[in-house]
Amino acid sequence: MSNVLIKMDNIKKYYRSGSDTVSALQEITLQIGRGESAAVMGASGSGKSTLLSIVGGLNRPSGGKILIDDLDLYALPGERLADFRREYIGFVFQQFQLIPYLTALENVLLPLTTAGYSRPEKYERALNALERVSMTGRKNHLPNQLSGGEQERVAIARAIVNEPPLVLADEPTGSLDSRTAGEIMELFQDLGESGLTILMVTHNPENAAYMQRLITMQDGLVTDDSKKPEPLASGRIALAGNAGGVR
C-alpha cells in the first residue's frame, strides 16, 4: 500500500452547454497522502466542487487520469464505479442532504443498504457511526426534527458508516453558525486523527485551519499548496474568540 491515496494526473474538465465550453478544471496534478486532511479554498467558480466530484467518482473528467488506491477510477466498468463510491468515499454535502423521509438512523443505514452485511451487522455499524458523532440519542428523529448542526452530524455519520478511507466534504459548515461549525470542524479533526483522509472545500480560512494542508484554486488551477506545520492549536484558539466571520 503506497502512501499516496489520491493521485491526480493532468485532470481536465470542460463543461459544454450549447456552443459554449466552460473550462472548470484546466490542469490539475495533485497527490494526497493516506491519512492526510486537506482544505480546498478558492473563489466561487474556481472548480472546487468539480474537483471533489471527480475525486468522488461522480463526474468523469474530460482528460487526465485519477488513481485512488492505485485504482484507475474512470476505467472501472459501469456499476463498479458505484461500488467504489460505496466502499471508498464518504460524502458530506453542504446542505447535509439527508433523505427527509428517513430517520437519522435510517439515513446512516443508507450506504449499507446495498452492501452485503447482515441486518444486525448493519444496525450495529450504523449505531456505532451515530455514536461517533454523539447522535445516538436522536436516532429515531427525522431530519426536520434536528438542528442544522445535528443534521450535519448525522450526515457525517452516514459518510463514515462504511468506514471508507476517504471523506469528501463540500462546504460542510456553510450553513452553520460559527460555534456549531467549530464543533463540526473538531469532529472532522478527530476523524482525521483517526486516520481518515479528508478533502474539504471551504470558504472559511478558520475552518481550513483545522486541516493539515491548504490547497488554493483559481480558474481551474491549483495556485497554492501548503502544509501547515501547526494547524490544530491555532485553529482551536482562533475559534474560541470567533464572533462571526464565517462566510
Residue 107 binds to ligand ATP (criterion: CB under 6 A): no
80's enclosing H/E stretch is: helix 78-88
Query: Cα–chain-centroid distance for residue 14?
Result: 22
The CB-of-244 to other proteins minimum distance in angstroms stands at 26
Write out the three cell numbers for 30.
Answer: 495533485
Helices (H), 116-177: 119-132, 148-160
> In the window 88-107, what residues touch other proteins (CB under 8 A)?
89, 91, 93-95, 97, 99, 101-102, 106
The CB-of-188 to other proteins minimum distance in angstroms stands at 18
How would you label 119-153 residue by residue, b for 16+ Cβ within 10 Å and e otherwise? eeebeebbbebbebbebeebbebbbeebebbbbbb
> In the window 130-149, what residues touch other proteins (CB under 8 A)?
none
Site string for Mg ion, 189-228 (x = CB under 5 A): ----------------------------------------
Residues with Cβ < 8 Å from 216, sequence gap 6 or more?
Answer: 40, 41, 42, 222, 223, 224, 225
Interface segment toward ligand ATP; rule CB under 6 A; list 2-10, 43-51, 123-131, 138-146: 43-51
Smallest CA-to-CA distance from 97 within 19, 167, 154, 44 is with 154
Among residues 23, 26, 31, 49, which is the contact residue for Mg ion, using CB under 5 A? Answer: 49
Instruction: Identify which of residues 25 and 166 has a Cβ nearer to ligand ATP in the complex.
Output: 25
Total Cβ atoms within 10 A of residue 236: 15
Write out the three cell numbers for 164.
Answer: 471508507
> In the window 37-66, what residues touch other proteins (CB under 8 A)?
49, 53, 56, 58-59
In the complex, the residues that contact ligand ATP under the rule CB under 6 A are: 15, 17, 22, 24, 42, 44-50
- Residues of the shown chain interacting with other proteins in the complex, contacts defined by CB under 8 A: 49, 53, 56, 58-59, 78-79, 82-87, 89, 91, 93-95, 97, 99, 101-102, 106, 109-115, 122, 158, 162
